[in-house]
Amino acid sequence: MAVAPHALAGKLITLFGGGGFLGKHMAQALMAAGARVRIAQRHPSRAHAIKALGNLGQVQLVAVDATRPDLVAKAMIGSDAVINLIGILKGDFETAHVTTARNIANAAATIGARMIQVSAIGADSDSPSAYGRSKAAAEAAVRAALPGAIILRPSIVFGREDQFINRFAGMIRAASVLPLSPVPVVSGDTRFQPVFVGDVADAAVAALADPAAAGRTFELGGPQQISMRDLLDWIGRTSGHEPLLLDMPGFAASALATLTGWLPGAPITRDQLAMLAKDNVVAEGTDGLAALGIPATPLDAVAREWLDIYRPHGRFTKTSPA
């Protein structure tokens, strides 16, 4: 019996900011569905690795400054759909999040393309953080231009190349070199709902393929809610360490963010500290992965594969059978 073609087969999907961690996985999922992918970003050279993941001619790379409406429109020519992945964790949120999202949505509306705006759980006009407020403003700008746009709000996204689990795993390994060296815990009671990068990518494909997803918002979280403290403990034990976790008082965390937050590679900024004031979990009653037919992948099911590199002797560490 012949296999029915996927709804996205042959479609051209433009990914703005698609050369990063999430973009790479999203591009792979789209190409697996038969779509053609165009990666549009300021430095397309950073996305060269994606070309090798597709068939001949399946991947295009385009340089674009998404703050300029004329360049956004040119980058989107011929697109059937567009996904906006542009995001930063520090800097000019208004420009990076709101201006670019508005430009992309306006261009998509002009040519009749579908759109996914990748936002974040915590997007809220009343958020204590500028990041959260800018994500909410970006969603509003997109919906104003394109009411049928789909919004995906993931919690913390994890995967082999992520900058969250890996960052803490490296910190815990470094601390383990010295006996009784503590690992500071900021906002230890704040809960997260880590979501696998492959699930977020599959959710984007499913949403684009489903006409009923138009105009809806999906909050994407994994099957487990976990506090920051418990997450650090799990990372430590899974990577072969027994971290000495030390809760950092609020005033100390605030002082750290104030004194070092402006530095490149700072452990935490004042705005990130403000974000940690609220749980980062899927709101009760909202559509999520299940509504898109995507089973949620547990952190434990995939993270062990790459956390081996943080063990005392790397992948050669002897472990007991599971």
194-252 pLDDT, tens digit each: 999 999 999 999 999 999 999 999 999 999 999 999 999 999 999 999 889 999 888 88
What is the structure's pLDDT at 105?
A: 98
Average of pLDDT values for 71-84? 98
Residue 100 placed within a domain: yes
Average of pLDDT values for 62-72? 97
Residue 151 placed within a domain: yes
Whose CA is closest to 29, among 174, 188, 159, 224?
159
Domain boundary among 180, 205, 220: 220
**Is the confidence at residue 318, as pLDDT, over 70?**
no
Is residue 210 domain-shared with residue 97, that is, in the same domain? yes
Residue 65 placed within a domain: yes
Is residue 187 domain-shared with residue 198, that is, in the same domain? no
Is residue 183 domain-shared with residue 102, that is, in the same domain? no
Domain boundary among 181, 203, 220: 220
Reduced to 3 states (helix: H, G, I; strand: E, B; else coil), residue 258 is helix
Per residue in 127-167, pLDDT tens? 999 999 999 999 999 999 999 999 999 999 999 999 899 99
Is residue 104 domain-shared with residue 199, that is, in the same domain? yes
CB 194 within 8 A of CB 224: yes
Per residue in 92-127, pLDDT tens? 999 999 999 999 999 999 999 999 999 999 999 999
Is residue 131 domain-shared with residue 33, that is, in the same domain? yes
pTM: 0.92
What is the structure's pLDDT at 188?
A: 93
What is the structure's pLDDT at 264?
A: 63
Residue 292 placed within a domain: no
Residue 289 placed within a domain: no
Residue 3: band (very low, low, confident or very high) from pLDDT cuts 50, 70, 90: very low
Domain boundary among 202, 220, 238: 220
CB 44 within 8 A of CB 61: yes
The domain spanning residue 137 has which CATH number? 3.40.50.720
Is residue 59 domain-shared with residue 207, that is, in the same domain? yes
Q: What does DSSP say about strands 195-196 and 36-41: parallel, antiparallel, or unpaired?
A: unpaired
Residue 54 placed within a domain: yes
Comparison of pLDDT for 54 and 168, the residue scoring more: 168
**Is the confidence at residue 24, as pLDDT, over 90?**
yes
Whose CA is closest to 39, among 25, 58, 10, 18?
18
Is residue 173 domain-shared with residue 106, that is, in the same domain? no
Category of 37 on φ-ψ map: left (φ > 0), alpha (ψ -120 to 50) or beta: beta
φ, ψ for residue 154 (rounded to 5)? -80, 155
Average of pLDDT values for 26-55? 90
Is residue 144 domain-shared with residue 55, that is, in the same domain? yes
Comparison of pLDDT for 46 and 117, the residue scoring more: 117
**Is the confidence at residue 2, as pLDDT, over 70?**
no
Average of pLDDT values for 23-45? 95
Is residue 147 domain-shared with residue 205, that is, in the same domain? yes
DSSP 95: I
Residue 27: band (very low, low, confident or very high) from pLDDT cuts 50, 70, 90: very high
Reduced to 3 states (helix: H, G, I; strand: E, B; else coil), residue 231 is helix
Is residue 229 domain-shared with residue 85, that is, in the same domain? no
Is residue 155 domain-shared with residue 229, that is, in the same domain? no
What is the structure's pLDDT at 262?
A: 56
What is the structure's pLDDT at 268?
A: 78
Residue 93 placed within a domain: yes
Total residue count of the chain as it appears in this document: 322
Residue 154 placed within a domain: yes
- The total of structural domains in the chain comes to 2
* Mean pLDDT score of the chain: 91
Is residue 107 domain-shared with residue 181, that is, in the same domain? no
Domain that holds residue 305: 164-191+224-281+297-313
What is the structure's pLDDT at 207?
A: 98
